[in-house]
Amino acid sequence: MHVCFIGDSLVLGTHDPEFCGWPGRLAAMALAVTDKELNVYNLGIRANRTNDILERWPTETARRLPQDQDCRLVFSFGGADASRPEGYPRVDAATSVSNARLIMQAAQAQYQVLWIGPTPMHKPEHNQGTAELNRGYAGLAGELDISYLDVFTPLSASHVYLEELQAGDGAHPGATGYRLIAELVAGWDAWRAWLR
């Protein structure tokens, strides 16, 4: 099974001292519970907004995924859209959800797809926008019949995750935070079904 993880810096694993991010940890966990051969590609790019991902995902996945084999996509984005370096979101919520619709409709026409929501940040003003995106993405996923995992809510309640954000740059956790994300995904029924 070939799996591409597509998204922004949280997929990439920015500030992870072990350079695994959550996709690397998730893949390692998966190998312990499945007999399937896994080929994992991390296609996270720092500061990538939904419009960036919309433009790049088709060519980047096509170069990595053999047409005659079991190939799947996991998307996770939104943090770069909700970030506010100039005091306002880099991509407004309506545009972000519209971009996500285009991404997901095209992706699900070609591959099996899973969607993991955005993660919280340290600053409350960022989290308001991220929470709005999480709701919008979840609604869209339901409409498109794509499995969606809300990680924003449990991570927002995790003192460990929030402490790692505070100790870092406010947007990216350390190794423990990335492990927490991987554990949430590893316990998700939709992901576990892929490993059977």
The CA-atom distances, in angstroms, between 99 and each of 74, 104, 157 are: 16, 9, 28
**What would the pLDDT profile of 68-127 be if each residue is shown by its tens digit?**
999 999 999 999 999 988 888 999 999 999 999 999 999 999 999 999 999 999 988 889
Give the up-direction half-sphere exposure of residue 24: CA atoms within 13 A in the CB hemisphere: 15
Distance CA 32, CA 43 (A): 23
Q: Give the whole-number percent of the chain exceeding pLDDT 90.
A: 94
Is the model's pLDDT at 62 over the cut of 90?
Answer: yes
Distance in angstroms between the alpha carbons of the first and the last residue of the chain: 11
Per-residue pLDDT, averaged over 163-191, amounts to 98
**Cβ atoms of residues 182 and 135 within 8 Å:** no
Give pLDDT, residue 16: 98
* pTM to 2 decimal places: 0.97
Per-residue pLDDT, averaged over 173-192, amounts to 99
Tokens at 87, concatenated: 């005091």
Distance CA 146, CA 115 (A): 7
CA dihedral for 195, 71, 140, 45, sign (positive or negative) = positive
**Cβ atoms of residues 100 and 137 within 8 Å:** yes
Is the model's pLDDT at 151 over the cut of 90?
Answer: yes
- In the three-class reduction of DSSP (H, G, I as helix; E, B as strand; rest coil), residue 104 is classed as helix
Tokens at 95, concatenated: 């545009």
Q: What is the DSSP letter of 169?
A: T
**Cβ atoms of residues 71 and 111 within 8 Å:** yes
Give pLDDT, residue 153: 98
Give pLDDT, residue 87: 82
pLDDT band at 195 (very low <50, low <70, confident <90, very high): very high
CATH superfamily for 2-194 is: SGNH hydrolase (3.40.50.1110)
Give pLDDT, residue 18: 97
Mean pLDDT for the chain overall: 97
**Cβ atoms of residues 160 and 4 within 8 Å:** no
pLDDT band at 31 (very low <50, low <70, confident <90, very high): very high
Domain boundaries, the chain: 2-194
